[in-house]
Structure 1
Amino acid sequence: MNSKKTAFYNTDKKISKLGFGAWGLSGIFEQCSEKELIHSVRNCLDQGITLIDTARDYGDSERILGKALREYTGRQPLISSKIQSKGPGMLRWGMPRNINEVFPKGWITKSAEESLRQLGKEKIDLFQLHLYWANWGVQGYWMDELQELKASGKVDHIGISIPDHRHENALIMVNSGLIDSVQTIVNIFDPYAFDSLIPLCQEKDIAVLARCVLDQGGLTGFLTSGMEFKQGDLRKVLFPPEIREEYIARVNSLQQYIPTYASSLTALSMKFVLAHPGVTSALISMHIEKYANQNIAIMQEDPLPEEIFQEIRMQHRWLKNLFSKVYWSNGIYEEK
Structure 2
Amino acid sequence: MKYNAFRSETDQVSRLGFGAMGLGGSFGTHDEKDLINSVLNCLEQGVNFIDTARAYGDSERILGKALKEWKGTKPFLASKVQSLGPGSIGWGTHIPIESAYPEGWLRGSTELSLKELGVEVIDLIQLHQYWPQWDRSDYWMEELLRLKDEGKIRYIGISIPDQRHDIALSIVRSGAIDAVQTVFNIFDPLPLDCLLPFCEEHNVAFLARCVMDEGGLTGFLTEDTTFTDSDYRKTYFDYVPRAMYIERVDRLRKFIPEFADNLAELALKFVLHHPAVTSALVSMHIPQYANQNIAALDKAPLPNEVFEEIRKYHRWVRNFYDTKFW
**Contact 1:229/1:236, CA 8 A, preserved across alignment:** yes
Residue 169 of structure 1: which of 167, 170, 173 is its match? 167
Of 215, 234, 237, the match for 1:236 = 234
Aligned partners of 1:299 and 1:243: how far apart in 2? Answer: 33
Alpha-carbon distance in structure 2 between the residues aligned to 1:196 and 1:242: 27
Q: What letter matches 2:258 in structure 1?
A: T
Q: Any conservation in 2 of the 1:51–1:78 contact (CA below 8 Å)?
A: yes
In the alignment, the residues of structure 2 paired with residue 31 and residue 99 of structure 1 have an alpha-carbon distance, to the nearest angstrom, of 34
Quote the Cα distance in structure 1 between the aligned partners of 2:102 and 2:225: 42
Structure 1's consecutive aligned runs of 4 or more residues displaced over 6 angstroms after TM superposition are none
Measured on the aligned residues, the alpha-carbon RMSD in Å equals: 1.1
Shift of 1:136: 1.2
Cα contact 2:239–2:320 (8 A) shared by 1: no
Task: Spell out the pairing of 1:174-189 with structure 2 (5 A cutoff).
Answer: 174-189=172-187
User: In 2, are the aligned partners of 1:138 and 1:173 still within 8 Å (CA)?
Assistant: no
Distance of aligned partners of 1:138 and 1:312 in 2 relative to their CA distance in 1, 3 Å threshold: farther
CA distance in 1, matches of 2:239, 2:106: 39
SS of match in other structure, 2:125? strand
Which residue in the other structure is 1:10 paired with? 8
Equivalent in the alignment of 1:331: none
Q: In 1, Cα distance between the equivalents of 2:165 and 2:298?
A: 30
* Paired residues for 1:198-277 under 5 Å: 198-240=196-238, 242-277=240-275
Q: 2:90 aligns to what SS in structure 1?
A: helix
How do residues 291-302 of structure 1 correspond to structure 2 at under 5 angstroms?
A: 291-302=289-300
Distance (Å, rounded) in 1 between the aligned partners of 2:147 and 2:38: 30
- For each residue in 1:169-193, what CA deviation from the matched residue of structure 2 results, as whole angstroms up to 9, or x when unmatched? 1011101101100001000000011
What per-residue deviation string (whole Å, max 9, x for no partner) do you get for residues 56-102 of structure 1? 11110001001100111111110000001111420311100011000
Counterpart residue number, 1:34: 32
**Residues in 1 aligned to 2:122 and 2:178: alpha-carbon distance in whole angstroms:** 14
**Residues 1:131 and 2:132 are matched in the alignment:** no
- What letter matches 1:92 in structure 2? G
> How far 1:234 moved relative to its partner?
1.7
Q: TM-score, normalised by structure 1?
A: 0.95
2:107 maps to which residue?
109
Question: Offset at 1:243?
Answer: 2.7
| Cα distance change, pair 241–282 in 1 and its aligned pair in 2 (3 A) | closer
**Aligned position for 2:83:** 85
Cα distance in 1 for partners of 2:118, 2:271 equals 32
Paired letter, 2:135: G
Q: Could you tell me which residue of structure 1 aligns to residue 156 of structure 2?
A: 158
Distance 2:248 2:303 in 1: 21
Unaligned residue ranges in structure 2 (runs of 5+)? none
State the one-letter code of the partner of 1:185.
Answer: V
The one-letter code sitting in structure 2 at the alignment partner of 1:59 is G
Counterpart CA distance in 2 for 1:280 and 1:37 is 25
Name the SS for the 2:235 alignment partner: helix
- Residue of structure 1 in register with 2:117 after alignment: 119
For the residues of structure 2 that align with 1:242 and 1:327, how far apart are their CA atoms?
Answer: 16
Quote how far apart the aligned CAs of 1:241 are.
7.7
Q: Which amino acid aligns with 1:247?
A: Y
Alignment partner for residue 23 of structure 1, among 12, 21, 24? 21
Higher alpha-carbon deviation: 233-242 or 305-314: 233-242
Shift of 1:310: 1.2
Secondary structure in 1 aligned to 2:54?
coil
Q: Does the Cα contact within 8 Å between 2:239 and 2:323 map onto a contact in 1? A: no
Aligned-partner residue type, residue 39 of structure 2: V
* Matched pairs, number: 326
CA distance in 2, matches of 1:55, 1:33: 20
- Indicate the SS of the match to 2:91: helix
